[in-house]
Amino acid sequence: MATYKLTVPISEEEIRKLTVGDQVLLNGVIVTGRDAAHKFLMENFIHGDPSKASAEDRKVYERIKELLKDGVLYHCGPIVGKKEDGSYYFVAAGPTTSIREEPYEAEVIEHFGLRGIIGKGGMGAKTLEAMKKFGAVYFHAVGGAASLIANSVKEVLEVHKLDLGVPEAFWVIRVEDFPVVVTMDSHGNSMHTFVEEESKKKLEALLG
């Protein structure tokens, strides 16, 4: 286990160096995205016909594609405030449960060239396989520390698809020393699988 300081965009080479248990301080520009954001990308662009999307939605897609290449997607539904000048800031930015995105994430990793997913609780076998194949990791953020994490969000740069709702929109943020731990790596290791297997063994032992 080691400690790394990484700046987005992150190369595949840097990601392949990481293993489960490594602590990372993330810097640079990342994007938030939850259920509705994933559904928007999947239905309109990854599986859908982009030519049928509105001009505005195509513009959003192109921008998100640019940001997620060698980038990081944060499973987060932030609480957001608005300043007098019209700019936004994060009041709280805690992670949401990632397994809800399991049906989508492997294809999102492949399509966009993602290097990192931030969330809580880990993800499943399909996502783990995509991480191994394409070079990505899962970063576990500290649950229950939403306000603390918000301190690492130094600036809200952009927001896209506010019509999905504030928690579901794509928030483009600049972070400094955002603390995370690698719990799924690009070598097929998952701390969450280990915990699940150990829990199952203990349950079976208790049941005789």
Question: Phi and psi for 65 in degrees, rounded to 5?
Answer: -60, -40
Question: Using CA atoms, how far apart are residues 13 and 52, in angstroms rounded to an integer?
Answer: 37
CA torsion through residues 112, 144, 160, 85, sign: negative
Q: Which of 38, 140, 160, 192 is catalytic?
A: 38
**Long-range CB contacts (within 8 A, 24+) of 56-60:** 60/160, 60/161, 60/170
Half-sphere exposure of 121 (CA within 13 A, CB side): 13
SS3 state at 199? helix
Instruction: Tell me if residue 38 is catalytic.
Output: yes
Q: Amino acid identity, residue 132?
A: K
Identify whether the C-beta of residue 117 lies closer than 8 Å to the C-beta of residue 73: yes
SS3 state at 170? strand
Question: Phi and psi for 28 in degrees, rounded to 5?
Answer: 115, -160
DSSP tag of 141: P
Q: Which residues are catalytic?
A: 38
